[in-house]
Copies of this chain bind each other. A is one copy, B any other.
Amino acid sequence: MQSTRRNLPQLFTDARRWFEEGLLASLEAAGATPVSPTQAQLFAVLDDHGTTVSELARRMGVTRQTAHQAVHGLVAAGFLEQVPDPASARQRLIRRTVEGERAHRQAGAILERLEDQLAERISREAVDALRAALETPWGQPPPPNS
């Protein structure tokens, strides 16, 4: 029991940390090539048919430069590749390599397992409700009025 309710941002941070640490620990235990949290996030926002660096940056909520550097690391690690975009010569598509595809499935399976473990502690319904509440489009941070 505590005097004041913990604030939501704090709770989000704790929850996120639990998943992230579980994921990285499982990957390490499986002997996978170590990836940083940032790289893991980049993997998560990358879609199957290829994405531009700018689009990745938007999804991650960081600048193009930051996304670029994260991509660079994963390209060097052999997980991603850059291919010219047939639609427009000014942009290049980022795609997973075969190895990257494998790692992506592995990470997805681990996250699913973690979610199951969470459902074991709070109910499955609670997990579904959690997901439903979080999937609201957050959009812009609200204006400070009133």
Contacts and interface: CB of A to CB of B under 8 A. Distances in A.
Interface of A: 3-23, 25-26, 29-30, 41, 44-45, 48, 61, 108, 111, 114-115, 117, 121-122, 126-127, 129-136, 138-139, 141-144
Contact of A144 (B26, B129, B135): B26
The 10 A-B residue pairs with the shortest CB-CB distance in the complex, in nearest-first order: A21-B141, A12-B16, A11-B134, A26-B144, A22-B141, A29-B144, A18-B138, A9-B19, A130-B133, A129-B129
A2 to B, nearest CB: 8
What is the copy number of this chain in the assembly?
A: 2
Contacts of A23: 9
Contacts of A115: 8
Nearest to A30: B144
Interface of A is mostly: helix
B12 A19 contact: yes
* Most B-side CB within 10 Å, residue of A22, A41, A48: A22
A130 B130 contact: yes
B126 A45 contact: no
Nearest to A13: B16
A95 B104 CA distance: 45
Contacts of A3: 48
A3 B6 CA distance: 35
